[in-house]
Amino acid sequence: MDAPFEEFRLQAIPVVMPFQSGEVNMYLYDGGQTLTLFDAAFPLDDSWDALQRALAAWGRSTGDIGRIILTHHHFDHTGLVGRVVAASGAEVCGHPEMPLQAGLAYTYDEAHNAWMRETLGGLGVPEDLVEQLVARRPIVKPLVYRVDRLDRALDDGALVDGFRVCHVPGHSATDTLFVHEAQGFSITGDHILERITPNPLLRRPPNGMKRGRSLVQFEESLRRCRALEMGWCFPGHGAPFADHHPVVDRILSTHEKRTGRLLASLPAAGATPYETARHLYPRMGIDMLFLCMSVAVGHSELLEAQGLLRSATEAGVLRYFPVAAENPEKVN
């Protein structure tokens, strides 16, 4: 069944991603008070040209865009913001923490490098690999447009042009669903993807705060999302889907399988997150190290929240231990 784009007055604009396979989606919406662009791909001419073709198909131009709504702050969804605003004066809308989180994620300075060294070293990653990651980080900098201000912050539960705002942190701290309750469709960003399991990454916290448990937060948001009436879902990557319930169930099932693998592999003597990542992903290269570490930490924290692991810091390095090995009576 094809998605009813015309009925919803919606147009998808897929853009090929420059650093990996697949596409990222922008959406034009012409059913409200002003022409709206949901998300903004990369700051590249390919993205701009795709937007121009989509506008021309509706007999419109960039100057007609009155609003940009961002589903989250990740750089593959924000790239054209500055260029569109310069051409149209469009207002920029998104999660209230978007400027803060974008600054934490996309500031290329020694403070961020220090956070990476401290965090990854404390998770057991060898120093030489940490330094390789620090050195590689600026590779994506030319693709980053950092959203450092909003014209309109969208609070959880607010309405914007018929869309109900629903904060669902996890994949990122600013993930937001836009649910058009009257028309029966939703713009879902990267929170739920039909054929991809979104992975919450390790996130740098604001100064003086502890790092949040991204995957624990993600699962809470997934269960909130599952209870919503969302209709057709238009995601940040991949094709639209008509029912979000099996998509959410698949993601939760994938998490359960991963935590089961992790728990089964953890020795009674415990393991660092890096050792766990090496076991789960024996072919892990430097290009995937940060993602694999995020998965290992996230699922360890999820098991700890479930009472199945405990953590302790030894010589400055975090280790996780299976609770069942220490307390057999906890096993049903």
Q: For residues 27 and 42, give the distance between their C-alpha atoms in angstroms, rounded to a whole number.
A: 14
Domain boundary among 211, 233, 253: 253
* 60 and 166 part of one domain: yes
Token output for 193: 């993807």
Work out how many domains the chain is built from and give that number. 3
Each residue's pLDDT tens digit, 181-204 = 999 999 999 999 999 999 899 999
Backbone angles phi, psi at 14, to 5 degrees: -80, 140
User: What is each CA distance from 14 to 73, 141, 188, 219, 247, in whole angstroms?
Assistant: 18, 22, 15, 28, 21
pLDDT of residue 164: 98
Its pTM stands at 0.94
Question: The domain containing residue 320 runs over which residues?
Answer: 264-330
Q: Could you tell me the pLDDT band of residue 332, with boundaries at 50, 70 and 90?
A: very low
Each residue's pLDDT tens digit, 217-244 = 999 999 999 999 999 999 999 999 999 9
Listed residue (120, 170, 127) closest to 277, CA to CA: 120
Rounded to an integer, the average pLDDT of 54-68 is 98
Q: For residues 320 and 310, give the distance between their C-alpha atoms in angstroms, rounded to a whole number.
A: 6
Residue at token pair 């995957």? 215
pLDDT of residue 327: 54
CATH classification of the domain holding 234: 3.60.15.10
CATH classification of the domain holding 300: 1.10.10.10
* 156 and 135 part of one domain: no
pLDDT of residue 325: 52
Rounded to an integer, the average pLDDT of 45-61 is 97
Work out the percent of the chain whose per-residue pLDDT is above 90: 94
Backbone angles phi, psi at 212, to 5 degrees: -75, 160
Q: For residues 279 and 23, give the distance between their C-alpha atoms in angstroms, rounded to a whole number.
A: 30
| Helix%, strand%, coil% for the chain, nearest 5 | 40, 20, 40
Query: Burial code of 28-44, b = ≥16 C-beta within 10 A, e = fewer?
Result: bbebeeebbbbbbbbbb
* 247 and 269 part of one domain: no
* 246 and 306 part of one domain: no
Q: For residues 118 and 228, give the distance between their C-alpha atoms in angstroms, rounded to a whole number.
A: 39
Each residue's pLDDT tens digit, 274-321 = 999 999 999 999 999 999 999 999 999 999 999 999 999 999 999 999
Q: Give 324's contacts (C-beta < 8 A, 6+ positions apart).
A: 308, 330, 331
Does 259 map to a domain?
no
pLDDT of residue 208: 87
Domain boundary among 139, 159, 184: 139
* 206 and 315 part of one domain: no
Token output for 54: 């989509």
* 166 and 299 part of one domain: no
* 97 and 121 part of one domain: no
Does 258 map to a domain?
no
Q: For residues 302 and 305, give the distance between their C-alpha atoms in angstroms, rounded to a whole number.
A: 5
Does 305 map to a domain?
yes
* Predicted confidence (pLDDT) at residue 328 exceeds the cutoff of 50: no
CB 238 within 8 A of CB 193: yes
Does 122 map to a domain?
yes
Listed residue (245, 220, 219) closest to 231, CA to CA: 245
* Burial (Cβ within 10 Å: 0-12, 13-18, ≥19) of residue 232: buried
